[in-house]
Amino acid sequence: MSRKAILNQNYEIGPLIIAGAINEIKIQDFRNDVTPGEINFPIFSFPGQRIKKSPELSPIHQKLIFDQISNYFNHSGNVFNITCKVVRGYKEFSATVSHEREYVHFEIQLELFNLDGELQKLCSSTAYYKVTSMDAKEKFSEQLYQKAKNPKL
């Protein structure tokens, strides 16, 4: 499958619809390995080389998360305050003798509270993509990372 095909494919199993409306979404980053800046792929790689980076949540990343959560609700009925906890999120590059690998992983927990502050629902979501090629690209890795946050991209 080509890189473009991976980015254009919606991998969600089926539509998720939660009965309710959103009052507020708070995004909290619980990762303890966050580092500023982007992952830098080497110009020349060697077998066994591995680079892993957990980038900060940029405004673009936060918008993707917000939009994806909003898409899950039918916007009628009970009103919720939502806390989105980022549990894990990283980009990884590795190399073998025959190929380079790009891997992204993003995992969240959603807590839905009624307006009285009582927990009503707890959900989790994990997305990951792995691509092997002869020449890994940082730009494509970022596109995969964004797709892990919002599979409908």
Confidence of residue 144 (pLDDT cuts 50, 70, 90): confident
Give the largest Cα separation in the chain, rounded: 57
Cα-Cα-Cα-Cα dihedral of 53, 140, 150, 58, to 10°? 50
- The domain spans of the chain are 18-149
CA distance 152 to 76: 22
The per-residue pLDDT for range 13-49, each reduced to its tens digit, is: 666 788 999 999 999 999 999 988 888 888 888 899 9
73-101 mean pLDDT: 92
CA distance 63 to 52: 23
Q: Is the pLDDT score of 111 beyond 90?
A: yes
47-70 mean pLDDT: 92
Contact 95, 49 (CB under 8 A): yes
- Kindly state the percentage of the chain with pLDDT values over 90: 48
CATH architecture assigned to 18-149: 2-Layer Sandwich (3.30)
pLDDT given at position 94: 92
pLDDT given at position 83: 97
pLDDT given at position 131: 78
Number of residues that this document lists for the chain: 153
Q: Is the pLDDT score of 133 beyond 80?
A: no
Confidence of residue 8 (pLDDT cuts 50, 70, 90): low
pLDDT given at position 98: 87
Q: What is the pTM of this model?
A: 0.80
Helix (H, G, I), strand (E, B) or coil at 86: strand
